[in-house]
Amino acid sequence: MVFFPLYPLLIRAATPLAGGDPVLAGWMVSSVFLVLAAAVLVRLAQRFHPEIDPLMPVLFLLAIPRLLSSMPFIRNPFFFFLSLAAVYYAREEKFLTASLFVALASATRIAGLFLCVLLLVELIQSRGWKSLFSRRVWPLLIAPSGAFGFFCYHWAAFGDFFLYLKIQYNWGRDFEFAAADYMMRNSPYWINMVTDLLFMALVIVMGLLALKRLRISYGLYMLVSMGIALSTGTFLAVTRYSMMLFPIYLMAASMGSVLGRGAWMLTSVLLLAMNIIAFLNHYWVG
């Protein structure tokens, strides 16, 4: 009910190539799209951010603490590839192609809808406010079709267009703040809560900086994404969600201080090691 269909469909399509093993198929799909995402990130930096070493954003991406990109059944690499492709074509002012990638992203995760904000801002920046009242805005109507189609499926199959939002209530995402959602049951809860809060603060600060240092559309995309995630009444997995915001890696790579970049990388690698150890011992690291 809450897992969007495109990534599972890819695993089903890849399963015959993996000898009928869906776990291996999931690993293959995630690994392939991680490589593709890295390639698009390099190209994006080369084309539109020449002041940045194009390989540095990829290094920061591969060292993030909670991506766990090569694990089976983790859709983050696939979603990250789609979001980067959408941004790249939006910057090229090919809005129809960009909207198609956003539509695929919105059929992968609800967060794909937030890319619509980025497309809209890019359209205004490239073609002016008047473009909102012309046929040039029409391609953007395709962008949310992935999520819309998923909700229509719920309506057709279960008679409830908003079933996704209702089921999310069981995960503590109810757009209400309750003390029970923040109860600390053991030490790992504290660790996850502290890291989630730290990353939340980091992403908000970087979103504000991105408005000025990178591009308005990047900063707004980050702030809208985090704002909606935080409004759901829980910090559950907020770090994992925030790590899919591509401007983070461009911002990290654009740091002028070699010491600052080194400190970021060291901290990230240590947190990655901590999360791998926790995962192998059956603790929640989402």
Condensed to tens digits (0 to 9), the pLDDT of residues 192-243 reads: 777 778 888 888 898 999 988 889 999 999 998 888 777 766 666 677 778 8
Which residues, in sequence order, are CB contacts of 44 under 8 Å at separation 6+?
A: 84, 87, 88, 91, 246, 250
pLDDT at 172: 63
Kindly write down the DSSP assignment for every residue of 205-246, as one continuous string: HHHHHHHHHT-HHHHHHHHHHHHHHHTTS--TTHHHHHTT-T
CA distances from 254 to 35, 206, 219, 250 (A): 22, 12, 15, 6
Condensed to tens digits (0 to 9), the pLDDT of residues 79-108 reads: 999 999 999 999 999 999 999 999 999 999
pLDDT at 107: 94
Q: How far is CA 240 from the centre of its chain?
A: 8
| C-alpha span between 203 and 30 (Å, rounded) | 24
Region 250-261 average pLDDT: 89
Instruction: Please identify which residue in the block is written with the tokens 């969600």.
Output: 241
Report whether pLDDT(76) > 90.
Answer: no
| C-alpha span between 122 and 102 (Å, rounded) | 14
pLDDT at 188: 62
Condensed to tens digits (0 to 9), the pLDDT of residues 105-158 reads: 999 988 899 999 999 999 998 888 887 888 888 889 999 999 999 999 999 999
Of 70, 74, 94, 85, the closest CA to residue 36 belongs to 85
| C-alpha span between 76 and 62 (Å, rounded) | 12
Mean pLDDT of the chain: 85
Condensed to tens digits (0 to 9), the pLDDT of residues 148-196 reads: 999 999 999 999 898 888 887 776 666 665 555 555 555 666 777 777 7
| C-alpha span between 193 and 237 (Å, rounded) | 10
pLDDT at 69: 46
pLDDT at 120: 93
Kindly write down the DSSP assignment for every residue of the chain, as one continuous string: --S-SHHHHHHHHHGGGGTT-HHHHHHHHHHHHHHHHHHHHHHHHHHH-TTS-TTHHHHHHHT-TT--TTSTT--HHHHHHHHHHHHHHHHTT-HHHHHHHHHHHHTT-GGGGGHHHHHHHHHHHHH-GGGGGSGGGGGGGGTTHHHHHHHHHHHHHHS-TTHHHHHHGGGT-SS---GGGG---SHHHHHHHHHHHHHHHHHHHHHHHHHHHT-HHHHHHHHHHHHHHHTTS--TTHHHHHTT-THHHHHHHT-S-HHHHHHHHHHHHHHHHHHHHHHHTT----
